[in-house]
Amino acid sequence: MDKMNALVLVEPGKTEIREVDKPTPSENEVLLRVSWVGFCGGDLNGYRGLFELQEYPNVLGHEVGATIVETGSQVPDEFQPGMHVTIDPYQHCGVCVSCRKGRTNACQDNKTMGVRRPGAMTSFVAVPWQKLHPSSQLSLRELALVEPLTVGFHAAARGRVAAGDTIAVIGCGIVGMGALAASAHRGAEVIAIDIDDAKLAIARKAGATHTINTAKVDLHETLMQLTNGDGPDVIIEAVGNPTTYRAAVDEVAYTGRVVYIGYAKKPVDYQTGTFVRKEIEILGSRNCLGEFPDVITYLESGRFPVDDVISRTVSLEQAGSALAEWSENPGPITKIMVHFD
């Protein structure tokens, strides 16, 4: 059997390039040649040993831009060799309470590529045709941005963001960028919050009307000024930090909604009277639920600053060291892309 190289997260703090078998597609699968794979925050936390779902050792990678090279005998004719696609990387069980309710994104036994089953940080992968999302307009690099943006789009949907709302997004990594882009796309006024001016500048290109650098100004005072003393209708937390978890509850408007995407790495202490008195909704947001077509259409419109959010492009051989360097200095990085061609 043919061999190919893959980036394996061996254990916290250690990656290796290892040889793996080139897959053969089954009758319901397609064989994809991988061109681009993005690193996500989950990869970073898995590398740091801080992601509770990460299994070791595992081939990383679930943000993919790829080309169909072969199709199984039962794959519909609409999928043809040469098509550019991205992958829905989630695998749900179909029997847990979430799946029975149609909320497959919150499957209790979800197995995401690169987290709980082998990922796509390699030259070829075989995937079920049902997991493919094609685009004839997007580049392969743009297709690799679709999955992380769907996570932010799902968070905006969870928060029921609507035209006329004022939304604050805490954290302008790629998932936060997706949340603020989705909120602006829905007609909301968006406030982007971060500690990095470069990321905040990109956030304006992605649709933010206002930006707040909390390293330079007081968050509460600035939000009060921007919202006429009310606070934002919705706050989306895309950092995963106890401080920002609390800030979302403290700063959201009375009867507002808080959406949490980030995993806080330590327990979070609350003054529970705050969210009872305000009668706010606190919502978790996990993965995505049907947002792939929406994000592809949005990216095809050309309104998202693709070039700006890609901070660094590396080869497979450089990918392990890039992940280590990101862990050492995460601030300036929005998205690292691994290129295979």
CATH number for the domain that contains residue 187: 3.40.50.720
Clarify whether residues 222 and 248 are in a common domain. yes
Structurally, how many domains does the chain consist of? Answer: 2
* Same-domain check for residues 265 and 326: no
The answer, yes or no, to whether residue 1 has pLDDT greater than 80, is: no
Residues 182 and 61 grouped into a single domain: no
- pLDDT tens digits, 89-123: 999 999 999 999 999 999 999 999 999 999 999 99
**Statement to judge: residues 239 and 334 lie in one domain:** no
Confidence of residue 262 (pLDDT cuts 50, 70, 90): confident
Does residue 292 form part of some domain?
A: no
CA distance between the termini of the chain: 22
Are 68 and 196 part of one and the same domain?
no
Identify the CA nearest to 179 among candidates 283, 254, 322: 283
125 and 20 within one domain: yes
Residue type present at position 160: R
Q: Is residue 291 part of a domain?
A: no
- Hunting for tokens 């202490």 — which residue is that? 269
209 and 328 together in one domain: no
Q: Give the whole-number percent of the chain exceeding pLDDT 90.
A: 94
Residues with Cβ < 8 Å from 277, sequence gap 6 or more?
none
Q: Specify the CATH number for the domain of residue 40.
A: 3.90.180.10
Among residues 239, 254, 284, the one where a domain terminates is 284
pLDDT at 298: 97
- When mean pLDDT is compared over 187-191, 260-264, 327-331, the highest value belongs to 187-191
pTM: 0.95
Beta strands 335-339 and 210-213 are: unpaired
Residue 38 has pLDDT above 80, yes or no: yes
Reading the block at residue 311, the tokens are: 């901070």
- Kindly tell me if the per-residue pLDDT of 330 is higher than 90: no
pLDDT for 264: 87
Residue 294 lies in a domain: no
Mean pLDDT of 134-144: 98
Q: Are residues 156 and 137 in the same domain?
A: no
**Is the domain of 86 the same as that of 106?**
yes
Domain residues for the domain of 258 are 151-284
Q: Classify residue 15: in a domain, yes or no.
A: yes
Same domain (yes/no): 248, 273: yes
pLDDT value at 220 more than 80: yes
Are both 10 and 140 inside the same structural domain? yes
Distance CA 318, CA 340 (A): 11
The overall average pLDDT reported for the chain is 96
Q: Is residue 257 included in any domain, yes or no?
A: yes
Same domain, 21 and 111: yes
Name every residue whose Cβ is closer than 8 Å to that of residue 79 and which is 6 or more positions away in sequence.
30, 68, 71, 85, 129, 132, 134
Decide if 186 is inside a domain: yes
